[in-house]
Amino acid sequence: MTRALVTKELRETWAYAALALALSLAFVCRQTGFWSRFLLWTLDWVPGLAEQAVLPFVQIGFGAYLGLIGFVLAMTLGFQQSCWESRQALYLLHLPVRRRTYFLAKLGAGIALLMASMSLPILLYAGWAAWPRTHPAPFEWSMIGPALRLWLLMPLIYLGAFASGIRPARWIGSRLFPLLAVVVPAVFVYNASWLVGLTMLGLLSAAFTCEILVEASTRDF
């Protein structure tokens, strides 16, 4: 039953991840020089794609573009898996499976799809930058640190969006409170040391997951 639920979630959300992955790979193609005439004709007008970075990962373009796409994908998946399929949840919640298992399957599928789709551009760009004679600038693996931090923050944004989607409040301000509440901690985690940041990230993710499970267990759908 759990495998069927995970498969259902992946089937309903893969298109969002595919679109985000395509945009991210287009940016990677621009930065690495693999920029075909078709991409030049269709995407060269997009802000951030007009110029090629001289120093991979160091210039703000890659991190900002990856973070924008990743955070939008995280919010889209979070809302789509919570409030956008409320009608379907009425049927699924009557299946012979615990609510906690059902929502954990949703969260696991969403986070796995988010992290997998947004890790591929980083790996490809880092592999190209580390390969000898691909570009004239120096490269150290520590340069991927900011991009890696943004990648690690994406599940927290996803959990905030999911918690907002499952929240029964009617006023949009109170309903979006969980998503807005992750902004300040996310900025702190991004700027903190690796040990402090990862510890805070784990605690915040666990807290939001518990809040989602409590809301799912007590809410009258």
Q: What tens digit of pLDDT does each residue of 149-178 get?
A: 999 999 999 999 999 888 776 666 677 888
Q: What is the count of structural domains for the chain? A: 1
pLDDT of residue 87: 54
Q: Identify the weakest region by mean pLDDT among 96-100, 108-112, 201-205.
A: 96-100
Annotate 171-206 with b (16+ C-beta within 10 A) or e (fewer): eeeebbebbeebeebbeebeeeeeeebeebbeebbe
pLDDT over 80 at 205, yes or no:
yes
CB 81 within 8 A of CB 106: yes
pLDDT over 60 at 208, yes or no:
yes
What pTM was computed for the model? 0.87
pLDDT of residue 217: 76
Q: Output the six-digit token pair for 108.
A: 């696991």
CB 25 within 8 A of CB 123: no
pLDDT over 60 at 13, yes or no:
yes
Per-residue pLDDT, averaged over 131-142, amounts to 81
Residue 206 to residues 11, 41, 132, 187: CA-CA distances in angstroms?
26, 45, 41, 18
Q: Output the six-digit token pair for 21.
A: 């992955």
pLDDT of residue 10: 85
pLDDT of residue 23: 87
Per-residue pLDDT, averaged over 38-45, amounts to 61
CA distance 201 to 204: 5
Q: What percent of the chain has pLDDT above 70? A: 79
Mean pLDDT, all residues of the chain: 82
Q: Which helix (H) or strand (E) holds 51?
A: none
pLDDT over 70 at 45, yes or no:
no
Q: What percent of the chain has pLDDT above 90? A: 35
Structural domain harbouring 192: 2-218
In the 3-class helix/strand/coil scheme, how is 81-129 assigned residue by residue?
Answer: CCCCCHHHHHHHCCCCCCHHHHHHHHHHHHHHHHHHHHHHHHHHHHHHH
Residue 177 to residues 103, 161, 164, 170, 171: CA-CA distances in angstroms?
20, 9, 7, 12, 10
